[in-house]
Amino acid sequence: MRVKAVFHGILSDWVGVPQAEFNLPDGGTFGDLLSEVRKVYGPKMPPQLGNKDQADFPRAFFAMRGKERLNEPTTRLQDGEDIQFFLSLAGG
Amino acid sequence: MKGYHGRILEIDLSTRKMADLSLSEDFLKKYIGGATLAAALVYDRMKKRTDPLAPENSLIFSTGPFTGTPLPMVSRYAVGGISPLTGFWGEATSGGRFPFRLKGSGWDGVLVTGKADKPVYLFLREGKAEIRDATDLWGNDSYQTQKAIKDELKDESVSVACIGSAGEKQIKYAAIMNDSGRAAGRCGLGALMGSKNLKAVAASGNLRPELSNPEKVRDLARQAVAQINGNLVSVAFREYGTMMYTDMAMTLGDAPAKYFTKDVFPVSKITGQALRQAYTVRNYACLGCPIGCGRELVDFKPGLNVDGPEYETAVGFGPLCMNTDLDSIVRANHLCNRHGLDTISAAVSIAYAFYLHELGVLTKKQVGFELPWGDSEAIIKLVEMIVAQEGIGQVLSQGTLAMAKEFGRDADEAAQVKGLEMPMHDGRAFHGMALSYATGPRGACHLKGDYYNVDLGNLVLEYMILPSERLSSEGKSEGVAKFQSLKDLFDSLTLCKFAPLTVTQLCAMLNSITGWEYGAKELLAAGDRSINLKRAISNQLGLTRADDKLPRICSAALDEGSTAGVEPDLEKMLRGYYQFRGWDWETGRPTKAKLLELGLNQVVGEMYP
């Protein structure tokens, strides 16, 4: 199945694209998508983010599917979904 | 005593008497420093229902035990007093170099009462204090004032906190400016300074209190710098400043537009990236900060460098007024900095004028020109009119609550809490923020606590403050109360709100500076004490539970965007908050039991005679 990752704010600046599509296995999860994002775009991200290990990597992001926040790597995704990625950091 | 000078310089400008006010270690252990120390001193001296601008009222500049140490991100100071804007407890903080210089002058702070018979400024240098004539400085803007004082004292190391013409005219949201464009912006304490004929406080020197364990402090500082540099906050803010959040905020519905009636607006031209593309941007860092989130725009106009706007200002003069013109936002920010105006209150008041104009309440005849949404030149003109106290500018300079009254509008239309204008994080996008605004110790405050950061994923494990569903009002009360107390402490210690340090680190830092034995529990209790003390001050000035609310304009569900149809359930959150805080639901006051638990015995005596 195909899932789109949409990068907001400076994330898109860092990874160099506003969005990207990924092929995931049927029944793929949010964790699978994070692994793909990390594999493809991790090297383009600042070390403070891109070099985070597998366990810490998700905490750098605030991810949403519609109005639903995605926290759990085990959350199943559906074909054709857009997942919004934000940096988990706000300005003052 | 370690970590403090143990004295505040007390100055009565009416009599020109100066004396040292000794601070005992027990007193400091209880109130720590910064804004909390200021609140403790104000509480001791205040009268009920006083006019905030009455000469007998106190104005306090205060540092904390962290200020001036080798720790990073600690060059902060607080200003406290009764707010001319709200009539309740008021405080503001700022960074730069001034905090180090103030502490280096040999005092932990300055307490000013009275009113000088002509404009003066204070000069503190290594244990010596002078009241100097500022007649020639009156009328100067904040940049001119800082330069003139440095020139007069022939000392480039002097740092100056001053007012511009807004403070001189006692405009209710006048700011105190230091180190070029750093602002202790909120609550109108610049007006309080102006009411005392006090143009500036200049400080110089390098007197540092002894530290309990200097080697440990240096170790902790090294660890903290490494940790900060390895944190996201470092790379994001260093690269794009706080404006890095503008577009994310709009997508999340956190950035308000069209005077809080929309959260959909094209912001691509006013992001941190856009600022970098449009201008030559230099980072500004407060002393000892490894990040440097401040922006300086080089040659904004030929030969003119200006301080760049940060997130609050960009959204306030941008989407809130439906303005996409970045240049005008920079100009409005510069005008506010020059004349010493709080950009948040100024922008919200101007956005309210656009709103009233659209409704036909505020006419072209009253304003002098049309106010179509997004008119960037009108924004600049209105800032100038506020500063000049000219025409409609005089009404706008009173803030939104007074504007609503002036135009016969419902107070629910005034975007403020307790008279302090709403910042640029929408309580509909993070329900914890709605509660935080409603209960904040100085009114609508986005910094204590910045709960949007919690619900974006930044947890505080020591206090089990955990991220939750941002668009839900369930289970927020306890987390918001604890986070407020923790962030309130940052202004006591003093420490930048962006410092990504753990509670365990904060305790270790405080203990190695002072020799005390603060644990996480004691630290949170100190934050609770601070919140309750400030609450008690405002209660004495007439605050009740009825003041713990959000105006409808900022809470009614919007019909589009990421928060469409969602409204925070404030009463539900507030009930839980009151219960957790130990506040009385009927009166809005801390209960006697809570005050006694926190050691606020003096307050008990006065609140429950």
Domain-embedded: residue B211: no
Q: Are the Cβ atoms of B251 and A10 closer than 8 angstroms?
A: no
- Domain ranges, residue B137: 7-204
Out of B408, B443, B475, a domain closes at B408
Domain-embedded: residue B413: no
Residue A59, pLDDT above cutoff 80: no
Domain-embedded: residue B62: yes
- B295 in contact with chain A, both atoms CB, cutoff 8 A: no
Residues B27 and B163 reside in one and the same domain: yes
Per residue in B275-318, pLDDT tens?
Answer: 999 999 999 999 999 999 999 999 999 999 999 999 999 999 99
Q: Are strands B120-125 and B198-204 parallel, antiparallel or unpaired?
A: parallel
Residues B178 and B250 reside in one and the same domain: no
Residues B67 and B19 reside in one and the same domain: yes
State the count of interchain CB pairs (< 8 A) between A and B. 85
Chain A residues within 8 angstroms (CB to CB) of chain B: 8-10, 13, 46-49, 59-62, 67, 69, 71, 84, 86-92
Residues B557 and B485 reside in one and the same domain: yes
Chain A residues closer than 8 Å to B239 by CB = 10
Residue B395, pLDDT above cutoff 80: yes
Residue A54, pLDDT above cutoff 70: no
Chain A residues closer than 8 Å to B248 by CB = 8-9, 86-87, 90
Q: Are the Cβ atoms of B239 and A10 closer than 8 angstroms?
A: yes
Residues B389 and B451 reside in one and the same domain: no
CA distances to B34, B193, B343, B353 from B175, in Å: 18, 9, 9, 21
pTM above 0.95, yes or no: yes
Give the pLDDT band of residue A50 (cuts 50, 70, 90).
low
Residue A24, pLDDT above cutoff 80: yes
Out of B361, B376, B408, a domain closes at B408
Q: How near does any CA of chain B get to the CA of A45, in Å?
A: 10
Domain-embedded: residue A92: no
Domain-embedded: residue B417: no
Out of B373, B408, B443, a domain closes at B408
Per residue in B95-128, pLDDT tens?
Answer: 999 999 999 999 999 999 999 999 999 999 999 9
CA B154 – CA B58 distance, rounded (Å): 30
Quote the pLDDT of residue B47: 79
Please enumerate in sequence order all residues whose Cβ is within 8 A of that of B71, keeping only pairs 6 or more positions apart, or say none. Answer: B217, B220, B221, B224, B288, B495, B509
Give the CATH number of the domain where residue A14 resides. 3.10.20.30
- B459 in contact with chain A, both atoms CB, cutoff 8 A: no
Please enumerate in sequence order all residues whose Cβ is within 8 A of that of B604, keeping only pairs 6 or more positions apart, or say none. Answer: B592, B595, B596
- Cα nearest neighbour of A48 on chain B: B230
Per residue in B313-326, pLDDT tens?
Answer: 999 999 999 999 99
CA A12 – CA B404 distance, rounded (Å): 42
Residues B200 and B112 reside in one and the same domain: yes
Give the pLDDT band of residue B349 (cuts 50, 70, 90).
very high
Per residue in B124-182, pLDDT tens?
Answer: 999 999 999 999 999 999 999 999 999 999 998 999 999 999 999 999 999 999 999 99
Domain-embedded: residue B17: yes
How much is the average pLDDT of B415-420?
A: 98
Decide: helix, strand or coil at residue B473. Answer: coil
Task: Please count the structural domains in chain A.
Answer: 1
Residues B504 and B598 reside in one and the same domain: yes
Q: How near does any CA of chain B get to the CA of A80, in Å?
A: 20
Task: Please count the structural domains in chain B.
Answer: 3
Per residue in B171-219, pLDDT tens?
Answer: 999 999 999 999 999 999 999 999 999 999 999 999 999 999 999 999 9
Residue of B235, B252, B272 lying closest to A46 (CB–CB): B235
- Domain ranges, residue A64: 2-87
Quote the pLDDT of residue A51: 62
Per residue in B430-481, pLDDT tens?
Answer: 999 999 999 999 999 999 889 999 999 999 999 999 999 999 999 999 999 9
Quote the pLDDT of residue A53: 65
Residue of B251, B310, B425 lying closest to A8 (CB–CB): B251
Taking Cα atoms as reference points, which of B81, B13, B19, B11 lies closest to residue B53? B81
How much is the average pLDDT of B335-339?
A: 98
